């Protein structure tokens, strides 16, 4: 097993139940990605009742709350301890190669390991991705990816530009704003997701309406599967993020990023259209909920004004399409522009479109090589705590079948 996050530990849990010897290799400590690649004020977006690691259900007294970064890491560590997961920490796999006649060689910084079955559970999102035109940014401007951001105090003095308004970008923008920093936000095509509606959290509605259960057969398009996540927040007890309200209160909104040339950046002239599309996304979501309620004759509260009129009526000023960072006092750019897949360390032809590994619910064409915890590996919840264990159980079952076949 490569990776001791929620997905890798879930497979380990089932392998242990099946009595199959294995080891979990982790480059850091269990939950390393959550610890090192999330900002300090980070909270999960799905509520605590959605924490459904098999054998370790949420047992706290706040099922409708949202775990913080530290609480998420502790949950993963406690999960590993709960069944004495055979984790080997501080062991980074640098390459994975096919070994003849069967099995694989995993090379680490200290030794080589030979295994007949390997599960790659290195995370859902891969490595930082940057938009075309980003490499032209002047070296005098500090730049970092959203996965590297920790808090406002670690950044140089000056204005901060966040590029991208999906979940990470919108939440980081708010974190900076709350810290008293002047912020610019270059918007993207991510929609807005209501935090709560008609008496329930939006995650509850998504689960109730079957959104988490959609599989790759229901959503075949990669564009749909890997589009930007609509923004909402689990911080401060969970709340809506209204870009219009932040614009009113001092955040400078810009259109979609196009290109960087030294300290000069250009943006699309699409801010107003993007804000309208962001709000329309929330409206469509609520209409789907209303339709579902009516079709199933559900007795739930009404909500005649789900968005405060004083916010929805805010007029956002036109944004410049060309801007010099120095003249605006911008010292830092944070790229909240998502991730890409990079499995070049696996010395096998695995990558398909966008570098996403070719597999079917974690099973590859290479005997004994599996994946777990990939985004949309099988369903919309494959990389989330609410569903990662279901795929892990499937993968563990396929490994057990292979082991049983080899011993006959």
Rounded to a whole number of angstroms, the CA Rg of the chain reads: 22
Instruction: Please give the structure tokens belonging to residue 49.
Output: 């009742």
Partner residues linked to 334 by β-bridges: 144, 162
pLDDT of residue 15: 98
Asked whether the domain spanning 132-335 has the same topology as the one spanning 6-126+341-406, the reply is yes
pLDDT of residue 316: 95
Spell out the domain ranges in the chain. Answer: 6-126+341-406, 132-335
What is the residue-level pLDDT of the chain in tens, covering all 408 positions? Answer: 999 999 999 999 999 999 999 999 999 999 999 999 999 999 999 999 999 999 999 999 999 999 999 999 999 999 999 999 999 999 999 999 999 777 999 999 999 999 999 999 998 888 999 999 999 999 999 999 999 999 999 999 999 999 999 999 999 999 999 999 999 999 998 999 999 999 999 999 999 999 999 999 998 777 777 777 899 999 999 999 999 999 999 999 999 999 999 999 999 999 999 999 999 999 999 999 999 999 999 999 998 888 999 999 999 999 999 999 999 999 999 999 999 999 999 999 998 888 899 999 999 999 999 999 999 999 999 999 999 999 999 999 999 999 998 765
Fold entry, domain 6-126+341-406: FAD/NAD(P)-binding domain (3.50.50)
**What pTM was estimated for this model as a whole?**
0.95
Q: What sign does the CA torsion over 53, 57, 59, 60 have?
A: positive
Query: 146-159 in b/e burial notation, b at 16+ Cβ within 10 A?
Result: bbebbebeebeebb
Partner residues linked to 252 by β-bridges: 184
**What CATH class does 132-335 carry?**
alpha beta
């Amino acid at each position: 097993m490569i990776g001791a996050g929620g997905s890798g530990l879930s497979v380990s849990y089932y392998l242990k139940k099946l009595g199959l010897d294995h080891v979990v290799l982790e480059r850091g400590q269990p939950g390393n990605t959550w610890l090192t690649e999330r900002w300090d004020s980070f909270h999960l977006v799905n509520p605590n009742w959605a924490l459904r690691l098999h054998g370790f259900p949420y047992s706290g007294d706040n099922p409708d709350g949202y775990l913080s970064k530290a609480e998420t890491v502790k949950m993963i560590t406690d999960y590993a301890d709960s069944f004495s997961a055979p984790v080997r920490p501080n062991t980074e796999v640098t390459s994975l190669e096919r070994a003849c006649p069967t099995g694989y060689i995993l090379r680490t910084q200290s030794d080589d390991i030979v295994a007949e079955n390997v599960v790659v559970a290195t995370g859902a999102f891969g490595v930082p991705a940057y938009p075309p035109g980003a490499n032209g940014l002047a070296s005098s401007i500090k730049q970092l990816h959203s996965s590297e951001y920790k808090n406002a105090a670690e950044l140089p003095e000056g204005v901060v530009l966040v590029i991208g308004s999906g979940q990470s970008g919108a939440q980081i923008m708010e974190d900076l704003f709350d810290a008293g920093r002047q912020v610019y936000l270059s918007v993207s095509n991510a929609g807005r997701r209501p935090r709560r509606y008609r008496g329930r959290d939006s995650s509850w509605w998504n689960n109730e309406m079957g959104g988490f259960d959609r599989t790759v057969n229901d959503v075949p398009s990669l564009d749909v599967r890997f589009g930007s996540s609509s923004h909402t927040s689990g911080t401060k007890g969970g709340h809506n993020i209204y870009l219009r309200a932040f614009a009113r209160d001092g955040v400078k909104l810009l259109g979609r990023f196009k290109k960087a040339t030294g300290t000069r950046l250009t943006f699309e002239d699409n801010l107003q259209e993007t804000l309208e599309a962001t709000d329309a996304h929330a409206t469509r979501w609520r209409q789907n909920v209303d339709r579902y309620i009516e079709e199933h004759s559900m007795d739930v509260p009404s909500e005649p004004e789900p968005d405060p009129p004083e916010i929805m009526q805010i007029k956002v000023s036109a944004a410049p399409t060309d801007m010099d960072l120095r003249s605006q006092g911008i010292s830092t750019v944070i790229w909240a522009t998502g991730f890409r897949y990079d499995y070049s360390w696996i010395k096998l032809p695995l990558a398909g479109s966008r570098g996403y590994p070719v597999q079917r619910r974690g099973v590859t064409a290479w005997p004994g090589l599996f994946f777990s915890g990939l985004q949309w590996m099988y369903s919309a919840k494959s990389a989330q705590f609410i569903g990662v264990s279901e795929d892990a159980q499937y993968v563990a079952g396929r490994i057990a079948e292979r082991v049983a076949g080899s011993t006959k």
